[in-house]
Amino acid sequence: MLAPGLYVVATPIGNLGDVTLRALEVLRGADLLACEDTRVTAKLLARYAIKKPTTPYHDANAEQARPRLLAQLRQGARIALVSDAGTPLISDPGYKLVREAVAAGVAVVPVPGASSVLAALMVAGLPTDRFLFVGFLPSRQGQRIRALEEVRAVPATLVVLESTHRLAESLADMAATLGPREAVVARELTKRFEEAVRAPLPDLAARYAAQGDPKGEVVVVIAPPGEEAAVGDDATVDALLSDQLLTLRPSDAAALVAQKTGRPRREVYARAMALRKR
């Protein structure tokens, strides 16, 4: 029998992802399931023939729902916090509930399982001894570039979540800000059409700009600074220059791209002036 407390339960990410036996034990033993979306959780419960009361807990209703959940926890309830997919609190609502539960002396129990962040790191083939989860980047380009500049010098692999309809432009900003680092676009992890595309950031930006928005959910894993891919073609330099010329003078754009690619500044400046004339 479960002890009283708040259980943070990871659920399957996709069709091929299986819930752990420990998670099933908690779901069956809990008094109440606090769900990011009760309709999504209902499908999981039906799959394993589990019948438990559910209540919504998400960003929109958290301020109203949290006091009720905390009151039940103080009275000895066993509540499972469940996200739509993956591990709760990782780009999902819930940390305030955990924080206040801890402050109230309620036991908080992790029930690990699927995580798109860790799944992407597993397939990326990039250093995993130190990584930074950046989360979702801002939707506006200026804010997105500033966010990337803040983590540019971090000596760690970067893990970024991104919406598919912004993927190409976001990859272009990553290439312009972080340089031609090796990166992986991991899409639809643990689902039927999962894939991992590996290439330098400029090449990935060009690929997704050409083929259009992919479907599904995306995680981008980027190599640490100092592990830039070799830049051996003019197309990559031109792609970086094109992005920088949107906001910088040719001389400034050339200086930045030359620094990132290792190409002679005079040569890069000449390419920048040629691009301006097109």
pLDDT tens digits along 151-162: 999 999 999 999
Q: Are 171 and 201 in contact, with CB atoms under 8 Å apart?
A: yes
> What is the mean predicted confidence (pLDDT) over 6-30?
87
Residue-level pLDDT at 124: 93
Weakest mean pLDDT among 17-26, 76-85, 148-157, 234-243:
234-243
Give 85 or 229, the one with higher predicted confidence: 85
Class of domain 117-222: alpha beta
Computed over every residue of the chain, the mean pLDDT equals 89
Tens digits of per-residue pLDDT, 105-158?
999 999 998 888 999 999 999 999 999 999 999 999 999 999 999 999 999 999
pTM: 0.75
Residue 252 CA, distance from chain mean position: 32
Supply the CATH classification number for the domain 5-114.
3.40.1010.10
Tens digits of per-residue pLDDT, 47-97?
999 999 999 999 899 999 999 999 999 999 999 999 888 888 887 668 899
Largest CA distance in the chain: 73
Structure tokens belonging to residue 164: 């598919």
Residue-level pLDDT at 189: 86
Strand bridging mode 108-111 / 5-9: parallel
Residue-level pLDDT at 230: 47
